[in-house]
Amino acid sequence: MNKINILSLLTLMSVGVSAQSIPNPDIELYTTCPTQQSRFAGNVQSWVSSLGAMAGTPDYYNSCGVFNLSSYPTPILPQSGVGFAGIYAEFNSTFTDYKEYFTAQFSTPLVSGTTYSFSFYTNHLYGAAPTSFTPAGVNLTDLPAAEQGYLGLVFSAAVPAATNTGNGGGGNPRYNSIRNDFGIGRALIPNTNTDVYGAVSRNNWVKVTLSYTSVGGEQYMTVGQFRPGGTSLAASNGAYYLFDNFSVSTCKAGNTAPVLQ
Q: Where are the domains of the chain?
A: 20-260
**Average pLDDT over every residue of 225-230:** 90
Portion of the chain with pLDDT greater than 70, in percent: 84
What pTM did the predictor assign?
Answer: 0.88
**pLDDT > 60? residue 258:** no
Question: What mean pLDDT, rounded, does the chain reach?
Answer: 87
Beta bridge mates, 211:
117
CB-side neighbour CA atoms (13 Å) of 103? 22
Angstrom CA distances, 165 to 22, 31, 80, 99, 222, stand at: 24, 28, 32, 10, 13
The CATH number that domain 20-260 falls under is 2.60.120.260
Higher pLDDT pick, 180 / 5: 180
Residue 260's pLDDT band (boundaries 50, 70, 90)? very low
- Cβ–Cβ under 8 Å, residues 103 and 23: no
pLDDT of residue 94: 80
C-alpha angle 205-211-214 in degrees, rounded to nearest 5: 135
Portion of the chain with pLDDT greater than 90, in percent: 70
Residues near 83 by beta carbon (within 8 Å), at least 6 away in sequence: 26, 27, 28, 29, 30, 44, 60, 61, 62, 63, 244
- Read off the pLDDT of residues 25-63 as tens digits, 9 standing for 90 and up: 999 999 999 999 999 999 999 999 988 765 678 999 999
Higher pLDDT pick, 261 / 98: 98
CB-side neighbour CA atoms (13 Å) of 4? 0
Query: Count of CB atoms within 10 A of residue 3's CB?
Result: 7
Residue closest to 107 by CA, chosen among 220, 243, 223: 220
- Read off the pLDDT of residues 124-139 as tens digits, 9 standing for 90 and up: 999 999 988 988 899 9
Within the chain, what is the greatest distance between any pair of CA atoms?
70
- Read off the pLDDT of residues 199-217 as tens digits, 9 standing for 90 and up: 999 999 999 999 999 999 9
